[in-house]
Chains A and B, each alone.
Chain A
């Protein structure tokens, strides 16, 4: 049963949610920046804090006869991981990941799926409790949706939690191409004690985009080139914005082929939920790193503290962009003489790595080392004090006393006396 109040709210949300989603829409459908402070939330009289999908958006729905109707379009999309790297990916409604679906426990949803690919597809509602025939497994629960056809999935949401959707037809390839999205179900009973001011949805993935190519290689199993949050790499991943003291939830889903220990600086977060829904408080645990396994989701909650705090996978190769994995180790090798001789034969050769790889970003940023087409340098990004030497699954949680809407607040300036500093000498009575 749907009461009148829910119906009204739903209708309103159906048309407003477009304006409330995706802060950094990028190349996707133009939208007003989402604001998701509690006051804004209260203004819409929504029973939950809408999810923000950095670099993405939430899919609007239309309420029809008490059913929330969504339309997902499976199609090829032009996708940019960061400036300088574009590919032909597959996704939904013009993007990878597809737009986030957001609903409330108890909702009846009717999801139209149009297949604009040239091969059959399905949508599997990962982790949702639903009738067997709605599970979206090609050949098992249904005939796969042929190219050009539209099919409907319809079921009632019997749970809440952080969930995902992805194809279950030619799954290995279609997921490698970027077909996936988040499906957030808010609890029907909003618990004020568990209220969050900001709610973010991050979907982890890995991509094999060989240097100089423009399409993912689905055959790769381990040596991926790009590690993404919402199909973006640092420094193109939008930062997560919050105000000091706000309660923040970061929902992380993983449809890549690796487990990712997601690490947050500056706070101990509570792990408060998963695809199993929101956990009872007694099950929460404090962590600074939480492994999000393949096919799993985790909700991480914390109270925001001012700063520009990194949030990243702790597999250090996952915070790099494209790099070779079978390079000889040049650390500790003075190539200067040899490099001169090599340059005689191969003009442009530069010796690298004698003292580590840090110099690499300096070379790249200086612009005198050309790389392959459509390929991001291994490391990049500059902070207020120099190169950050990062890539891949790395972004920042920017917390300020007061935010100016969704505008990037710039770099955090540590208050006087709270920043590391240089000394001229070290007391010589310190044990080493």
Chain B
């Protein structure tokens, strides 16, 4: 007799995902270390940008980022800043993000893109699904489970919205991990066996500071703090405003309402910001409708502009140290995370505050995803020598008489954490009790953030004050609240109806699962073709524009002919279904137009140098 050896069933891979404000990444654990999974274009970062095309398809990542200029009304970015928020609390975001808000945005924002509206969890779900597909392509197996990171300072609604996004994307979210904690895991700082570490994370949209104690493989978060509306976006917005004013006085034209121009200028100020991290000076350049704006920006001026943003990060750092009960002298290491920590002024400020040279060996925009992959391998049981003990960033309270908050779980409590309170009735025969739960550190309900109202229903009619309902508040390992109740006398589980103040109900999430809101996607090849066509659109549009310029007529006859030929050849393959062929023709067109592009660039630079306007 012989037996067939099917081998051991292979453990399903769990990926780690950094769902960022600006960039998202997916990573997995390799034999010895975590690695980033690149997209099909080879870029490890997938920009968190989504375009809803008129035909019902979506562009995600780099193609969508390029479409920001060509399809500004159909493209949305930095949607993480809208997660778990309602219309009333996004005044800041409205100034920053030029999106159209649809009706019924009170508890969940409705983002209008073209003729359709989408909630932030759906947009995030579209990004997550792309990361899932990238991982499946790369690993050659289905991916259905993930660890997703969130800013440590995210509240309950923002966490829930992130979990919903995972579900919408067809992912089972095994755990939400706080971004700074994930970064500490990625650094393998446990190798030092013992010590206190500060993780400073300034990304595109959020700021986090966490203080951890490491001991024998345990990463115990002592305290965390932050600001969920502070990041590189704010620097961009500042520079953008200054540039718009400058242009208005130079051109006598206010471009603020001109979405296309604003997006071009936004791109230009971001480029300048990045350049200033390595250069002492650079130029902000906008070319728009045959006009050209160029302004030199020095690092000194830049530093003066962003100083207030740098300073806004320092108070949460001091508070977190106080909460952790540590002084600067006790901090052994500082870790820098997030693309915005490349700004030299910021590095200096952090170094001065903690009096320690910060770590930045790992790429600051990849380290969180790598840590998420480490946590994924811990959850799937592949690593048993490490353990994360995280905390809840905000105190949990319930509304009491006079609009006051009675705190039941303090901020920085290790999670899971629980508290039990007993409630009763105020009038005879009352059959339900309403509990209003809030998050925040202030004394008054109106100054805290409403989390949900819990309706304890079906209380047997009794004289006032007789029923004794024990309510248990439990913050789980994801930092999300669960509530259960029982009647003390009978010991019976009491039904609790939850009315979240912000966010989607279970049924709404169900209806948003991506397959149900769009036509059946998605053959990988088909998608690549569609993306390549948008790419081709962009290139052809640019070439057509260049052909209107003086430079075009200065080029030799044969060169112009070869450009036209390349353009025609691209048009021929455009409607075919071979994406590589389209790419080849795009590249050929690029090649053919290079001298033309250079001429245009040079003449632009020359005019700029002469200081005259075109």
Asked if chains A and B come from one complex, the reply is no
Residue positions of A touching B, CB distance < 8 A: none
